[in-house]
Structure 1
Amino acid sequence: MMTLPPLVEPGEPLSREEVNRYSRHLLIPNVGMEGQRRIKNAKVLVIGAGGLGSPTLLYLAAAGVGTLGIIDFDRVDESNLQRQIIHTVDSIGELKVESAKRAIHQLNPHIKVETYTDRLEPDTAVELFSRYDLILDGTDNFATRYLVNDACMLADKPYVWGSIFRFEGQVSVFWENAPGGIGLNYRDLYPEPPPPELAPSCAQGGVFGVLCASIASIMSTEAIKLITGIGDPLIGRLIAYDALDMCYRELPIRRLPNRTPVTELGDYQTFCGLNPPADAMAIPVPVMTVLELKERLDQAQAPVLVDVRDPNEWEIVNIPGAILMPKSPTVAAEILTAFGPNADLVISCRSGARSKAVCEELIKLNAPKVRNLEGGVLAWVEQVAPELASY
């Protein structure tokens, strides 16, 4: 068993109200009055007030973490409420950090909440992290995960990482300079990011709502253990959870040999393949706006509209007259076989990214009349048919 010294020194004595509130913690020998004072004195930054951040923030607030920082630039959407339990119907349209702050203060008025509505960027991350004892990362994209990892290394801060997708989740703790030379970082687990098309977000691939609670509970537990110096932290270990099989697996993480030291923060969008260099950019793809498509439909001059989303997405909402042909390595060839090389083609997906890739393949196959539906089905719902469902 590996133990680490407490991350935080004990703070001020507890008030009578705090003793009453945290009495069930105080009864635990490993926590007690001193441990609760450490929790009270802790400053924890949670990145994202979404699926993982929501239950994590609630549990840390309930536990008495004295200062909670929240960074999130997004606003509450109706589709968030299936899993982001810190928000309510009344929060829709509100900044997530403000919704979360209000919920935290309703749960525990003793907590100080600091909010940040700017996107986390390399030029501010290290300084921001330096203000806190511990970082919790529940973001759903690889660019931010690598940024958090590298900034924590430069700021010499431990962080708890969690990830969810559909029915599966992962959790670990990374701390490059952990006492005893046992430190690891996220690059030891994932030296390189996967190709963007193999790393869909929750908005693209979906997530089982209650999975968030399972993973966030582990993240919160690890945070309290690090703060108080109790138990065996998840440094060097990855917990993988499968909700369908109700199975937890523990996998060892080893230090990557010959890894390059992180000395500065870089361009993580490009590193993760989201901003390829200009000479590697895909060929230009013509576009059609949803308003132009609506006009064509009204004039009975409809193009062949091919929707390359998955069938479950199609069931949520689809554009009248569209033909479903889910994206696959051969879908471009299948489209040409079905409609001919000279067909007036418009390709659509959720927001325009997958359809753009299909358009590029069609252009390479010498299809002269192909356009990408700009903004995809989401733009259609927003600008043309707001009475339809969205996701």
Structure 2
Amino acid sequence: MFSRDELERYARHVILPEVGGAGQQKLKEARVLVIGAGGLGSPVLLYLAAAGIGTLGIVDDDTVSLSNLQRQVLHTTERLGQKKTESAAVAISALNPHIRVIEHTERLTAENAATLIGGYDIVADGSDNFDTRFLVNDTCYRLNKTLVTAAILRFDGQLSTFKAHLGEPHPCYRCVFPAPPPPGSIPACSEAGVLGALGGVMGSLQALEVIKELLGLGDSLSGRLLLYDALRGDFRTVRLRRDPLCRTCGAKAAPAGQAGGSQ
């Protein structure tokens, strides 16, 4: 199942009783879609590749710019102007040549979301806009896919896992955030700024939650929202409830696994 190189590479995983050879094999067989190869996607992709996730899909239509390098550690000065998916594939191959990388150099849209997400076991969303986050949530629900999503702005980060397709008591993203905020009410990182290392903190935690879900380890973040205040060095957890009136997973919405639901 594993080459000699792989056995040595993943030795610290394999000696964990909770992982072992069987767990490492699950990671090798896993297919994870990462949306966004930026401040969050960079650490997510690096740690998932290092962990031995067999297939990593990357969705991003942007190119590497100089202002990205303050936080997007996948990319380098030498790869300025290159497609982020291509740059990410180079970095992942250099870290772990056993990983299969699938480059989706396109923007996630209502037209391609089901096709892209449907080909993977679990989704890690590191997108930077609400339209994409809602689209990812709704598509994951309809396709019975677990979603691990994170967001960062200025000095604050948040992280949660959504798997409402499993039924009660699991909420979806829309149960917590029913609709996008009014335009202009929440500035983008390009307007408000973001501490670069914050992406590393939240992206690493996001990768960890993906691995936990794939291996069935520990307590899932489903039903909980993890909040991090970098200035205070403070983590806190907020309980989340499923909304019976939710447009995506509520009583009047289309059941998981069927067409319909909100986009």
TM-score (norm 2): 0.94
Report the residue type matching 2:159 in the other structure. V
Q: How far apart in 2 are the matches of 1:265 and 1:87?
A: 37
Higher-Rg structure is 1
> How far did 1:91 drift?
1.1
Aligned with 2:61: secondary structure? Answer: coil
Q: How far apart in 1 are the matches of 2:222 and 2:2?
A: 31
Q: Which residue of 2 aligns with 1:32?
A: 20
Q: Which residue of 2 aligns with 1:167?
A: 155
The answer to whether the 8 Å contact 1:176/1:185 transfers is: yes
> How far did 1:259 drift?
2.2
Match of 1:47 among 30, 35, 38: 35
| 1:338-384: CA deviation from partner (whole Å, max 9, x where unpaired) | xxxxxxxxxxxxxxxxxxxxxxxxxxxxxxxxxxxxxxxxxxxxxxx
Aligned with 1:62: secondary structure? Answer: helix
Q: How far apart in 1 are the matches of 2:246 and 2:199?
A: 32
Q: Which residue of 2 aligns with 1:362?
A: none
> How far did 1:183 drift?
2.3
> RCO (CA 8 Å, sep 6+): is it higher in 1 or 2?
2
List gaps (5 residues or longer) in structure 1: 1-12, 269-391
Q: Which residue of 2 aligns with 1:250?
A: 237
1:220 aligns with 2:207: yes
| 1:212-232: CA deviation from partner (whole Å, max 9, x where unpaired) | 011011101100001111111
Match of 2:246 among 240, 249, 259: 259
Q: How far apart in 1 are the matches of 2:108 and 2:14?
A: 36
TM-score (norm 1): 0.64
> How far did 1:177 drift?
1.6
Q: How far apart in 1 are the matches of 2:165 and 2:260?
A: 16
Q: How far apart in 1 are the matches of 2:40 and 2:245?
A: 33
| 1:112-138: CA deviation from partner (whole Å, max 9, x where unpaired) | 000011111111111211110000001
Q: How far apart in 2 are the matches of 1:45 and 1:259?
A: 25
Match of 1:80 among 50, 63, 68: 68
1:100 aligns with 2:88: yes
Report the residue type matching 1:99 in the other structure. S
Q: How far apart in 2 are the matches of 1:264 and 1:177?
A: 14
Output the aligned Cα RMSD.
1.2
List gaps (5 residues or longer) in structure 2: 248-252
Q: Which residue of 1 aligns with 2:108?
A: 120
Q: How far apart in 2 are the matches of 1:140 and 1:93?
A: 20
> How far did 1:265 drift?
6.3
Aligned with 1:37: secondary structure? Answer: helix
Report the residue type matching 1:117 in the other structure. T
Identical-residue share of aligned pairs (%): 49
The answer to whether the 8 Å contact 1:72/1:96 transfers is: yes
Aligned with 2:232: secondary structure? Answer: coil
Q: Which residue of 2 aligns with 1:134?
A: 122
Aligned positions of 1:1-391 closer than 5 A: 13-178=1-166, 181-260=168-247, 261=253, 263-264=259-260
> How far did 1:184 drift?
1.6
Matched pairs, number: 254
Aligned with 2:27: secondary structure? Answer: helix
Q: How far apart in 2 are the matches of 1:199 and 1:151?
A: 24
Report the residue type matching 1:255 in the other structure. R
Aligned with 1:181: secondary structure? Answer: coil
Range with greater deviation from structure 2 (251-260 or 74-83): 251-260
Q: How far apart in 1 are the matches of 2:173 and 2:28?
A: 28
